[in-house]
Amino acid sequence: MTGAGKQLYAELWVSLASLLRSYTAAYGLNGNLQATVELGEEQITVRHGNAWLELARRGARIDWRRDDGRAGVLELTEAGRLRDCDPRFQNRDLHPTDEELPVGTPDLGHPIEEEMDMAAEAWARELMHE
């Protein structure tokens, strides 16, 4: 990975932490709730009560895990999106399962990408409602 690539992923990483701070703050407004977001070069930890999310970064790769045992692997793209490394083996409820998809829907064997802010919003919503 080039120096420019490393810098890009580091900046996207900081942006992801900022999005998590913003969305957890927004979800906490109604109930006067607050989450903590800790940012390091290679780790982001978000905590709200007993709920937590840990993200660990190695270059563009992000390993995530939740307090309830769910975990997965994502990849930052140069476009600022998050890509499931293998959606068939991810256990995060962002995408429908094969059983939930209408007949004739293409196989989920290809990587699924989502905007970074959508992923941060989903994680924040889960954390702040637990």
Percentage of residues of the chain with pLDDT beyond 90: 67
pLDDT score of 129 more than 90: no
Q: Is residue 95 part of a domain?
A: no
pLDDT digits 0-9 by tens, 36-55: 999 999 999 999 999 999 99
Contacts of 50 (CB under 8 A, 6+ apart): 67, 130
Give the per-residue pLDDT at 13. Answer: 97
pLDDT score of 16 more than 80: yes
Domain count across the chain:
1
Chain centre to alpha carbon of residue 130: 17
DSSP 68-103: TS-EEEEEE-TTSEEEES-GGG---TTS--TTTSPT
pLDDT digits 0-9 by tens, 62-85: 999 999 999 999 999 999 999 988
Q: How large is the average pLDDT for residues 104-124?
A: 77
Q: Is residue 93 part of a domain?
A: no
Q: Is residue 115 part of a domain?
A: yes
Give the per-residue pLDDT at 50. Answer: 94
Distance in angstroms (rounded) separating the CA atoms of residues 48 and 35:
5
Query: How many other C-beta atoms lie within 10 A of the C-beta of residue 32?
Result: 6
Q: Is residue 49 part of a domain?
A: yes
Q: Provide the sign of the torsion angle of the four alpha carbons 84, 90, 96, 102, taken in this order.
A: positive
Distance in angstroms (rounded) separating the CA atoms of residues 65 and 73:
9
**Which range marks the domain in which residue 56 is found?**
3-88+101-128
The residue that leads in pLDDT, 25 or 109, is: 25
pTM: 0.79
Q: Is residue 94 part of a domain?
A: no
Q: Confirm if 69 and 101 have CB atoms less than 8 A apart.
A: no
Q: Is residue 76 part of a domain?
A: yes
Q: How large is the average pLDDT for residues 90-99?
A: 47
